[in-house]
Amino acid sequence: MSIYDKYYPLGLGTARFPISNPNDETGIEESVKLVLCALEHGVNYIDTSYIYSAGMAQTVLRHAFAQTNRSYGVTLKVQYGQDKTADDAFKRVELQLGMMGIERAAFFVVWTIMSYDEFEKITQKGGIYDGALKLKDEGIVDHICFSTHAAPADIVRIIESDAFEGVTISYSPINSTSMQPVLNAALKHNIGVVVMNPLGGGLIPQNSNYFSFLRNESDKSTVHAALRYEAAQPAINIILSGCASQEQLKDSLRAFSDENTEPDYKRVERVNVKLKSALPAFCTGCRYCADNCPKSIQIPEFMQSYNMLQFEPSRLYNHEDPELLKNIHLFRRLVFDFGILPENSENPCVRCGQCEMKCTQKLSICDALDDIYSRIELTGCSKDAKKARLSEIFDGKNYNKVGFYPSGGYSNAVLNFYREFFGEPEFEILMFNSSPHLRGSMVGEYIIHSPYEIAELVPDAILVTSYQHGAAIFDSIKQYSDYGIDLLNLHKTNDVPWVW
């Protein structure tokens, strides 16, 4: 038994609604119809956040909830960094309940825990976990859960703490081997499991022929086969589908409603066997190479990330250049899924060859590490590169006031990098966001301002931190350069995201 047993196995993700901006009335209307369609078909777990879909996902839910009597369980998310105290957690929950027009919710989710160390900070006395406990005691939330992109070993430790009732993890056939210990721990501790990124960030549908081994005679598509493989795992309760249209939603629903002739245990056995043979140049995460590296390189994690280069890359973060997309997928796996951000672009490998002798797939690991580190240098995916970029932006500028646009986790993470490298900023920090619901609210210690206030506040510079919408934001504020405000872009052309 888990907290998700009464929920339909397909959950609705709300980050991909067809909304271009907060004023997109057509997109909002279509998204409301999408939610109502999901509820009509029995989907009753809804994963949402106050920043999803141009900041309008919870507004969409408010309109949809007002038009239905269907039951549902919805998430409230609080992220460490943006919020640190129990009071912060209360305020963030109140904001989201107000945006959705509801008084309580089923799930409090500690959002995106990146490591066991971060979990320990979250659960310190007076922290956001204490806020979650109080919210549960007061009947405002039913269950306390977490989502994570920590390394599998760290996720297992968090599960073993018994602090949470449910977990949301990134899981697909691509990373199923490395994530098996997490599923085992969840079963042992009776922790419910929700899956995000079930199609490998779009790689599986983009490479459907490559992954055709997932299918049996009753699977109408590789996408259906992937979803059915995940649903067949005993530990997994809900698989999230981020839908941009009713057609996408209905196709995902067919994976669960159409005839399925293969018992779950046989599907899992069949696919697991084929995962080892169908991808000959693929790191399976067996970890035979992990011991005795003289430089303590996390070889399995690097090589499983390197797997991503074998696929035709799917479009992410509004970028289209194929080589950049390959690098995004590679480092999304390394940094986002495994929590590894290299210190610099200098490859520590001494080419002793011990790892290659132990590799069951006979992979050219040393050459792969050379390639990965050359890509680290090209894409700025290291701590040293981030330090150099912030130094380039701020050194010698003597700014008194700097605006960060948009507010939220990304800007907060950039500021944390700044503090790690240089100490507390000497300039005043202003936060800007176009979402009408966030104006006047707090992100940490900072008030969120409307971009319409830029002319009144007149910062010396505005740093655009968004990787996905940076170009659009930059274009929307370009007129403020006439006020003598320096408009700065955090990212360079070949950069991968700083925050995933």
CATH of 10-274, one of 3.30.1950.10, 3.20.20.100, 3.40.47.10, 3.40.50.1100: 3.20.20.100
Write down the pLDDT at residue 168.
98
Write down the pLDDT at residue 1.
83
CA distance 269 to 213: 13
CATH of 386-489, one of 3.30.70.60, 3.40.50.720, 3.40.50.300, 3.50.50.60: 3.40.50.720
Q: Are 169 and 155 in contact (CB under 8 A)?
A: yes
Write down the pLDDT at residue 26.
97
CA distance 109 to 416: 22
DSSP 142-192: EEEEEEE-S-HHHHHHHHHTT--SEEEEE--TTTHHHHHHHHHHHHHTT-E
**In the predicted structure, residue 82 carries a pLDDT above the cut 90:** no
Q: Please name every residue paired with 355 in a beta bridge, in sequence order, or none if there are none.
A: none
| 3-state class percentages of the chain: helix first, strand second, coil last, to nearest 5 | 45, 15, 40
Write down the pLDDT at residue 374.
98
CA distance 101 to 48: 14
190-230 tens-digit pLDDT: 999 999 999 988 889 989 988 999 999 899 999 999 999 99
**Mean pLDDT highest for which of 78-82, 233-237, 435-439?**
233-237
CA distance 494 to 472: 18
Give the HSE-up count for residue 483: Cα atoms under 13 Å, Cβ half-sphere. 16
**In the predicted structure, residue 287 carries a pLDDT above the cut 90:** no
Write down the pLDDT at residue 471.
92
365-423 tens-digit pLDDT: 999 999 999 999 999 999 999 999 999 999 999 999 999 999 988 999 999 999 999 99
**In the predicted structure, residue 293 carries a pLDDT above the cut 80:** yes
- Kindly give the pairing relationship between strand 105-113 and strand 141-148: parallel
Identify the weakest region by mean pLDDT among 51-60, 279-288, 375-384, 467-476: 279-288
* Banded pLDDT at 279 (limits 50, 70, 90): low
Spatial neighbors of 343 by CB under 8 A, at least 6 apart, are: 382, 383, 384
Write down the pLDDT at residue 42.
97
Q: What is the mean pLDDT of residues 451-473?
A: 95
**In the predicted structure, residue 281 carries a pLDDT above the cut 80:** no
Question: Boundaries of CATH 3.40.50.720 in the chain?
Answer: 386-489
Question: Boundaries of CATH 3.20.20.100 in the chain?
Answer: 10-274
For residues 270-300, b (16+ Cβ closer than 10 Å) or e, as one string? bbeeebeeebeebbbbeeebbeebeeebbbb
368: left (phi over 0), alpha (psi -120 to 50) or beta: alpha
Write down the pLDDT at residue 358.
92
Q: What is the mean pLDDT of residues 479-483?
A: 94
Amino acid at residue number 365: I
* Percentage of the chain modeled with pLDDT above 70: 99
* Banded pLDDT at 354 (limits 50, 70, 90): very high
The overall average pLDDT reported for the chain is 94
**In the predicted structure, residue 280 carries a pLDDT above the cut 70:** no
Q: Are 386 and 342 in contact (CB under 8 A)?
A: no
130-179 tens-digit pLDDT: 999 999 999 999 999 999 988 889 999 999 999 999 999 999 998 898 89
Q: Locate 37 and state its tokens.
A: 């369609």
Q: What is the mean pLDDT of residues 117-124?
A: 96
**In the predicted structure, residue 95 carries a pLDDT above the cut 90:** yes
**In the predicted structure, residue 278 carries a pLDDT above the cut 80:** no
Write down the pLDDT at residue 201.
84
Write down the pLDDT at residue 275.
82
The answer, yes or no, to whether the previous bond of 497 is cis (omega within 30 of 0) is no
**In the predicted structure, residue 327 carries a pLDDT above the cut 80:** yes
Write down the pLDDT at residue 81.
85
